[in-house]
Amino acid sequence: MPARTAAETLIARLGPERRDGLLQFLRFGVVGTVGFLVDTAVLYAGLALGLGLYSGRAVSYVAAASTTWALNRAWTFRDSGQAPAARQWALFLLVNLIGFACNYGTYAALIAFVPLVAAHPVLGVAAGALAGMVGNFWLSRRFVFKAATT
Contact by Cβ (8 Å): 141, 77? yes
| 93, burial (CB in 10 Å: exposed 0-12, middle 13-18, buried 19+) | middle
How does the average pLDDT of the chain come out, rounded? 88
Residues 117-137 pLDDT 10s = 999 999 998 999 888 888 899
What local confidence, expressed as pLDDT, does residue 149 receive? 39
- DSSP 8-state class, residue 147: P
Asked if the model's pLDDT at residue 1 lies above 60, the reply is no
Distance (Å, whole) CA 21 – CA 101 = 25
Burial category of 85 from C-beta neighbours within 10 Å (exposed 0-12, middle 13-18, buried 19 and up): exposed
> Which of 142, 147, 129 lies closest to 65, judged by CA?
129
pTM of the model: 0.76
- Give mean pLDDT, residues 57-73: 93
- pLDDT confidence tier of residue 11, bands split at 50, 70 and 90: low
User: What is the tens place of the pLDDT at every residue in 12-33?
Assistant: 777 778 888 889 999 999 999 9
Q: Which residues contact 95 (CB under 8 A, 6 or more apart)?
A: 139, 140, 143, 144
- Please report which confidence band the pLDDT of residue 77 belongs to, taking 50, 70 and 90 as the band edges: very high
Question: Would you list the DSSP string of 76-112?
Answer: ITTTS----HHHHHHHHHHHTHHHHHHHHHHHHHHHH
Q: What is the CA radius of gyration of the chain?
A: 18
More confident residue, 11 or 110: 110
Distances, alpha carbon 99 to alpha carbons 4, 61, 63, 67, in Å = 38, 11, 15, 15
